[in-house]
Structure 1
Amino acid sequence: MNVRLFDIAFTPGSAADILRFAAAQPATRPRLIVTANLDHVVTLTENAAFRAAYDGAVARTLDGMPLVWLARLRGARSAGRVTGHDLIAAALAPPWPAGQRLYLVCATEAVGRHLTERLVAAGIGREAIATTVPPYGFETDEAYSRALSEAVRAHGTTLLVLGVGAPRSEIWVDRQGAALGAPVVLAVGEAMNVAAGLVPRAPALLQRAGLEWFFRFLHAPRRLFRRYFVRSWRLVGIGIRAFRKGASKPADAAPLGSVGARVRRNPDSC
């Protein structure tokens, strides 16, 4: 069953299903997969460029458990969670597809180095992997963005993974468009650090209980306090307005509200 919440159409299926779906789309531009959580929903009301990136994505997943629960309450009983962790694990799992070329855009040199070594140890040729650490504000640096896009395309990239966080990753990919070629693109943020073995992930019990956010907060309280304890409360108002607007419509037929109409036209506020 298709799910539509906050005027976002979510793609059903497992991580592997979604990757296959993305790869099957026309190779005319980057085939971006985005993973929606509560912070994304709030940001979509503020940032027109982020909304454009979401609209242009070939697939959108329910990342946050509260969104999964809401989808199920709306009638999509089979709605499931597919996180950035799930996507990167499925994308990098053996066997490595013939001709696969991976480009990693990392938050730090350590992430790129550790993840590359893990992949090489798993049997992936080092020549098939390229990494870079972009400078802060790279998404608004036209010269750097042009050079990075050219590097991604020259590498023959088939899978581009960005671990530099939202909304920068999604906006940058959408703005570069065909200059990147037509790789499948995963914007996975912190999940790349976990895949590299540098950051722990919450235990499965906390994940199922919808408390993975609290585990992350305990490991980075100063960085995540505002997101989880200030910005997240804005979703209450968004949800109330959305529920009033779409409460009488089934989840697979109509959106639960619309964030698009309330976007503030400030595409560089990222």
Structure 2
Amino acid sequence: MSVRLFGTTFTTARAEEVIAAAAALPQARLRLIVTANVDHIVILSENAAFRKAYDGAAMRTLDGMPLVWLARLGGGRNVRRITGHELIAAALASPQPSDRRVFLMASSDIVGARVAASFAEAGLPAAAVRMATPPFGFETDEAYSRRLAAEIRAHGTTLLIMGVGAPKSEIWVDRYGPELGNPVTLAVGEALNVAAGLVPRAPVLMQRMGLEWFFRFLHAPRRLFPRYFLRSWRFLKIASASRGRQTLDSALGRHSREAAWMLHPETKPES
């Protein structure tokens, strides 16, 4: 159950199925789950390290509604949106949550503390949850990163939740994955702040209409203006080019089939 978009394969499975599939992979494989949105697509076109992390991820979901619409337009009828919030909930709702060893990479101490408290309410013992609030620029500090990776591994982490934003979360996990013990890893960005209750979720109607971005912008206009009103324009160009290639490939494929039928009429299916 998958769909191709922008040269990348995305899963169309449900959140709980995504978690189960990643958990079933051998630990020798990087078990990273990424959640694509419009901003990710723009960064993927510019950042080779981010592209490498995406290509190496175990599962890729469509988080942004514009991506879901494009996938459906391309023929993916069963494409669904799977958010970081849903993945976190699915991971905690899976069988035997008491066996989980969770490590949170949070954007602030208060985010980590609140999410850890909510996990305790879900049945996880306090000792099963650890957290870190990495300093700005941690992803370029090799000594710090190796100490942090060792801490994650020593905890026996089975579920690592990265809430420090893209592309640093994905690139960091791709780079240090073997040193982490390869837990199932969710790169969910803002979803961790939502889980902490510091960022409100958009109303369901706005989510369905693809207006969640506007709801977020209203709550953090200064931080999100560059993303939504400057960088996102590049997405339209990328999407247009991708759609054009898809149409061309489809046309070439059709003409190739017609040429083959002319040479070998017996291969043409009955109408």
Q: TM-score, normalised by structure 2?
A: 0.89
Supply the distance in 2 between the matched residues of 1:225 and 1:137 (Cα, whole angstroms): 22
- Match of 2:75, SS state, is coil
Contact 1:38–1:232 (CA under 8 A) maintained in structure 2: yes
Instruction: Give the structure 2 partner of residue 175 of structure 1.
Output: 175
Residue equivalent to 1:148: 148
Count of aligned residue pairs for this structure pair: 251
Larger Rg: 2
Query: Could you list the per-position Cα deviations for residues 212-259 of structure 1 after superposition, in whole angstroms to 9, with x for gaps in the alignment?
Result: 000000000000000000100011111222122121557xx9xxxxxx
Q: Secondary structure at the match of 2:99?
A: coil
Match of 1:112 in 2: 112
Offset from partner CA, 1:176-231 (integer Å, 9 cap, x none): 02011120000111100111122210010000000000000000000000000010
Q: How does 1:113-128 map to 2 (within 5 A)?
A: 113-128=113-128
Equivalent residue number for residue 41 of structure 1: 41
Q: Distance in 1 between matches of 2:69 and 2:137?
A: 35
Q: Report which structure shows greater RCO (CA 8 Å, sep ≥6).
A: 1
Q: Which moved more, 1:99-108 or 1:235-244?
A: 235-244
Q: Which moved more, 1:4-13 or 1:236-245?
A: 236-245
Counterpart of 1:186 in 2: which secondary structure?
strand
Which residue is equivalent to 1:93? 93
Structure 1, gaps ≥5 residues long: 254-270
Cα distance in 1 between the residues matched to 2:140 and 2:39: 22
Partners of 2:182 and 2:206 in 1: CA distance: 36
Show CA shifts across 1:141-160 (max 9, x none).
Answer: 00000000000000000000
> 2:163 matched to 1:191?
no
Contact 2:2–2:12 (8 Å) recurs in 1 = yes
Partner of 1:50: 50
Whole-angstrom CA distance in 1 between matches of 2:45 and 2:249: 22
What percent of counterpart residues are identical? 61
Work out the CA distance in 2 between the residues paired with 1:63 and 1:210: 11
State how far apart, in whole Å, the 1-side matches of 2:249 and 2:65 are.
22
- The CA distance in 2 between the partners of 1:151 and 1:126, in whole Å, is 17
SS at match of 1:79: coil
The residue type paired with residue 168 of structure 2 is R
1:18 counterpart residue number: 18
Root-mean-square deviation over aligned CA pairs: 1.4
Letter in 2 for 1:238: I
Structure 1 contact 29–177 (Cα < 8 Å) conserved: no
Q: By percentage of residues, which structure has more helix?
A: 2
Which residue in 1 is equivalent to 2:269?
none
Cα distance in structure 1, aligned partners of 2:29 and 2:94: 26
SS in 1 for 2:97: coil
Deviations 1:19-73 (A, max 9, x none): 0011111111430000111100000011000000000000000111011111111
| Pair 1:72-2:83 in alignment | no
Q: Which amino acid aligns with 1:217?
A: F
The secondary structure found in structure 2 opposite 1:104 is strand
Q: Post-superposition, which runs of at least 4 consecutive aligned residues in structure 1 deviate over 6 A?
A: none
Superposed counterparts of 1:182-221, under 5 Å: 182-221=182-221
Q: Does the 8 Å contact 1:29/1:182 carry over to 2?
A: yes
Give the conservation status (yes or no) of the 8 Å contact 2:97–2:123.
no
Which amino acid is 1:38 matched to?
V
Question: TM-score, normalising length from structure 1?
Answer: 0.90
Change over 3 Å in CA distance of 1:238–1:99 after alignment to 2: same
- The DSSP-based 3-state class of the residue aligned with 2:124 is coil
